[in-house]
A = this chain, B = another copy of it.
Amino acid sequence: MERGFRICPATRAKLNHIEAGEGTMEDDTVFQEEDFVTLIPLFKTKKEVRYVLRLRRDDIFQCKYGSIKHNDILGKAPGTVVKSHMGFSFIALPSDLSDIIRNYRKFRYVTQVIYPRDWGLILAFGDILPNEKIVEIGTGSGAFLAFLARRIGDEGWIYSYEKDPERAKIAIKNLESMNIPKRYTIKVKDVANEGIDERNVDTVFIDVPEPWKVIKHAWCALKPGGKIIIYVPTYNQVEKTLKELMSQGFVDIKIKEGFIRDIQVKPYAIRPELKGYYFSAFIIFGKKSMVIPWRYIVDLRKGIF
């Protein structure tokens, strides 16, 4: 049992063969070059360890538990065990995007990224669909762009604006290192001053510190009824953004705040973890309209005090 695991009863027979080197899994489901692999230790570690690597023949992955040959993973089925030269065992699994963002050494952070826990909220509440034409303002490190680009489909395209050329460069490198489908263009341009080039856009997503400065431009870029989504971390930004949205012709405005808890994976002691992220940002949704509802005008004039 010192190996840190036990073979699943249901597949013992099949695996006996594989373990004995007498067979492989079906071709379509084994690890191949360029695949991302997440290694999860089967031994005890002080804090959670996950390694992410991208498979290349003859490469060697180094970590404090020893070195692992990529060739030992290539051709193996996901969910099998690999060993470091020091004898430590890991399960090899396909990598989620959030594994890559957090653990792949070539992914560089130039800004706070949008948290994986918010990706889905943005997509689902914003009802972002494949084949949309999307404008993103604020490329940042490119993490959310990666999430979107993998879901934009063969007809969709993302135009992502970043005013800082250094950041844009790193985002481009990040995306290339992740092998993201090339369904995006990164533009180095300050939208607040220079506007948006595209028209008849389905969705404008904004993640910059001063979103109120680009809302007018978003209105012009959007098709009628088009969606605006704005990601802001502070209440002060919500206030300013909301005022601008309401006075520029956006309606059906909603503001959401997501809070996701991890539950402890212990069947005899099920409870939320004690500590974790309990806030990320406010997400504001709206739709381009031709009119400003009268109640917005009343609200904008009002001050409670």
- In whole angstroms, what is the CA distance A289 to B275 when docked? 29
A119, B129: Cβ atoms closer than 8 Å: no
- In whole angstroms, what is the CA distance A256 to B265 when docked? 10
Closest chain B residue to A287, Cβ basis: B93
**Residues of A within 8 A of B (CB-CB), count:** 118
Q: Which residues of B contact A25 (CB under 8 A)?
A: 224
* Interface residues of A, dominant DSSP: mixed
Give how many copies assemble into the complex.
Answer: 4
A182-239 contacts to B, CB under 8 A, are: 200, 209-210, 216, 219-220, 223-226, 233-239
| Closest Cβ–Cβ distance, residue A226 to chain B (whole Å) | 8
Whether, in the assembled complex, A178 has its beta carbon less than 8 Å from a beta carbon of chain B, the answer is no
- In whole angstroms, what is the CA distance A223 to B216 when docked? 48
Contact of A271 among B29, B120, B147, B234 (CB under 8 A): B234
B249, A11: Cβ atoms closer than 8 Å: yes
Stretch touching chain B among A62-70, A78-86, A103-111:
A78-86
A271, B261: Cβ atoms closer than 8 Å: no
Give A15-27 as 1s and 0s: 1 = Cβ < 8 Å from B's Cβ atoms. Answer: 1001000000110
Contact of A267 among B42, B123, B127, B239 (CB under 8 A): B239
Q: Which residues of B contact A7 (CB under 8 A)?
A: 290-292
- In whole angstroms, what is the CA distance A248 to B77 when docked? 17
- In whole angstroms, what is the CA distance A230 to B38 when docked? 22
- In whole angstroms, what is the CA distance A251 to B5 when docked? 11
A252, B147: Cβ atoms closer than 8 Å: no
- In whole angstroms, what is the CA distance A38 to B254 when docked? 15
Stretch touching chain B among A134-142, A158-166, A168-176, A278-286:
A278-286
| Closest Cβ–Cβ distance, residue A182 to chain B (whole Å) | 15
A249, B282: Cβ atoms closer than 8 Å: no
Whether, in the assembled complex, A59 has its beta carbon less than 8 Å from a beta carbon of chain B, the answer is no
Q: Which residues of B contact A255 (CB under 8 A)?
A: 262-265
- In whole angstroms, what is the CA distance A40 to B271 when docked? 31
Q: Which of A124, A256, A269, A273 has the most CB of B within 10 A?
A: A124
Q: Given A235-B239, A236-B239, A278-B272: A292 and B130 within 8 A (CB)?
A: no
A260, B261: Cβ atoms closer than 8 Å: no
Whether, in the assembled complex, A33 has its beta carbon less than 8 Å from a beta carbon of chain B, the answer is no
Give A116-157 as 1s and 0s: 1 = Cβ < 8 Å from B's Cβ atoms. Answer: 110111111101011000000000000000010011011000
Q: Which residues of B contact A226 (CB under 8 A)?
A: 78
B26, A200: Cβ atoms closer than 8 Å: yes
- In whole angstroms, what is the CA distance A216 to B264 when docked? 23
| Closest Cβ–Cβ distance, residue A135 to chain B (whole Å) | 16
B263, A238: Cβ atoms closer than 8 Å: yes
Other 4 A-B pairs with CB < 8 A, given A25-B224, A235-B271: A5-B292, A91-B252, A119-B124, A257-B260
